Amino acid sequence: MTEVIQLTRKDFVSDQTVRWCPGCGDYAILAQIQKVLPELGRPKEDFVFISGIGCSSRFPYYMDTYGIHSIHGRAPTLATGLKIANPNLSVWVITGDGDGLSIGGNHFVHVLRRNVDLNIILFNNRIYGLTKGQYSPTSEQGKITKSSPMGSLEQPLNPISVAIGAEATFVARTVDTNVKHMAEMLRRAAAHKGTSIVEVYQNCVIFNNGAYSYATDSKTKSENVLELEHGKPMIFGKNRDKGIRLNGLNPEVVSLDAVDESELLVHDETMPEPSLAYMLSRMRQPAFPEPIGVFRDVQKPVYEEGVMAQVKQAKAQKGEGDLAKMYGNADTWEVVSSEFDDEYTSVLFHGENTADRDVAHALLTDTLADLSPKKPLTAHVDISLADAVARLKEVNVGFLALVDDDGNLAGVFTEWDIFTKVACKIKDMSQERVKDYMTPNVTTLGRSDTIAHALHLMAINHFRHIPIVNEDGKPEGVISFRSVVHFLEENFAPGKTNGKS
């Protein structure tokens, strides 16, 4: 027998002092969510509230549940990841018109189209409140604010229209002063399987007071608000004497004194085709009453269930995954660090020197010939790209000197060239010539150049290798940081007393 969870509003109230401005509409939203959650019959540990940045985003602090106060606009991404990781959680995204529709607009759209099973509560006060009164993506055109002193030039975003355009499966709107209606919208959202979005018309008493007075003033709201009810004709007005009729493809306001109720539009929130819901979302003041209620409530596959099904199918077909094997089943390179790096750092930068000669003096006077440079790995400039990569991999080096028909250095091909010009770009390396991907016009040195000069060039140009050529321009060696470290280890490391003669 399943144990009945009995909680109250107080169980969801945290010990944090609520820090919103007195009279802010956020208080009403907080109170109604805390009132509705106990009715859902789930333990507190199942609930997670995730927010971005803004006045609304303080919400997780005021809920005695799990919560994440994330970064600006990114709450839907964290919520998606969390829902996939633990599909049993009840995940709520708390966002505002600035947080969710400006920097977070991209994430808002994609979480809706994916239909992740979570609930988004969008506090829309048509202003940036936390940052002190700049116009937001939902501010009306011509709005004068601190950031638009001559009036906003932009068309405002309509969150409901955006949500329906993104194929959201549950879309609703309510008003912060209509707490009974708000509670019902929250219940409906929580019960929906898939992404639910509830826009709340919310008043900012400091920076945009009265933005929705037409929908909250007891003297005017009945004339300016259309409460949507599934299966019922669209009627509004103080005396319930007005309605919405369709004239061709356009809605129009009609008087029930002149039109029979049977001619009115009947709301159907379950229509698979979202055209009616979208049309309703475009009804705005002053030409129309603004709809509140559920615009759309349809069922579609939810994202996390699809992900889990694919994971299960992949395991059935291929078995449990092996991350290390996956990383190693293609062309890979092993990055090997030198065991002499610590000694090199100690000797060169901390002044440790037990040898007979001063290290700095040695670097300035000893030449590249003193390093006994190894002959570089060379190849003709016309070999294939596949050949060049194979040669580097075969001897586990990151530098290939490319020569022309006369044996002169024509360019080099390095790991950097692979990462920037080849990786994830070339499908068939056997059909490409390495000369088209090499680095030409290479910096070169001679055997008589000093080690210090070579290190200087490598440091300022971020080179890992520099080829050494003879007077005819033919490669006869290569210098690398590793070869310098070996030189220092052999001649100047602690305990070395022989040095160089």
Task: Check residues 460 and 269 and name the one with the higher pLDDT.
Answer: 269
- pLDDT (tens digit per residue) in 155-192: 999 999 999 999 999 999 999 999 999 999 999 999 99
Nearest to 173 by CA among 159, 193, 156, 192: 159
Q: Per-residue confidence at 374, pLDDT binned at 50, 70, 90? A: confident
Strand runs labelled E in 97-241: 119-124, 170-175, 196-201, 225-227, 235-236
| pLDDT value of position 392 | 87
3-state secondary structure of 40: helix
Residue 71 clears pLDDT 80, i.e. is over it: yes
Q: What is the pLDDT of residue 494?
A: 62
pLDDT, position 347 = 43
Report which of 46, 60, 22 is spatially closest to residue 206, judged by C-alpha positions: 22
Identity at 9, one-letter amino acid code = R
Domains of the chain: residue spans and CATH:
21-227+274-301 (3.40.50.970), 233-266 (no CATH), 341-492 (3.10.580.10)
Q: Cα(256)–Cα(365) distance, rounded to whole angstroms? A: 102
What pLDDT does residue 197 have? 98
Per-residue pLDDT reduced to its tens digit, 145-155: 999 999 999 99
In this model, does residue 333 exceed pLDDT 60?
A: yes
Rg (CA), the chain: 35
* Element containing residue 401 per DSSP (H, E): strand 399-403
CA distance 441 to 455: 19
Strand ranges, E, within 119-261: 119-124, 170-175, 196-201, 225-227, 235-236, 242-247, 250-255
| Helix 341-350 with 481-492: angle, nearest 10 deg | 70
In this predicted structure, what is the pLDDT of residue 327? 73
pLDDT tier at 480, thresholds 50, 70, 90: confident
Nearest to 23 by CA among 152, 190, 176, 139: 176
Q: How far apart are CA 287 and CA 250, in angstroms?
A: 12
**Tens-place pLDDT, residues 395-406:** 888 889 999 999
Give Cα separations from 125 to 132, 176, 184, 343 (angstroms): 13, 10, 21, 62
pLDDT at 96: 97
Smallest CA-to-CA distance from 267 within 226, 306, 239 is with 226
Comparing 58-72, 156-170, 422-436, 474-488, the range with the smallest average pLDDT is 474-488
Give me the phi and psi of 352, to 5 degrees please. Answer: -70, 125
For residue 472, is pLDDT > 50?
Answer: yes
Lowest average pLDDT, out of 76-80, 130-134, 311-315, 417-421, goes to: 417-421
Q: What is the mean pLDDT of residues 98-117?
A: 97
Lowest mean pLDDT among 16-20, 88-92, 93-97, 485-489: 485-489
Residue 501: pLDDT over 50 = no
Rounded (to 5) percent helix, strand, coil in the chain: 35, 20, 45
Share of the chain above pLDDT 90, in %: 69
Q: Where does the pLDDT of residue 497 fall: very low under 50, low under 70, confident under 90, or very high at 90 and above? A: low
**What does the alpha-carbon distance between residue 412 and residue 421 come to, in Å, rounded to a whole number?**
13
- Statement: residue 351 has pLDDT above 80: no
* Residue pair 178/32 in contact by the 8 Å Cβ criterion: no
409-414 sheet: strands from edge to edge: 378-380, 399-403, 409-414
Instruction: Say whether pLDDT at 500 is over 60.
Output: no
Provide the pLDDT for residue 498: 47
Residue 335 pLDDT more than 50?
A: yes
Does residue 138 contact residue 159 with C-beta atoms inside 8 Å?
yes
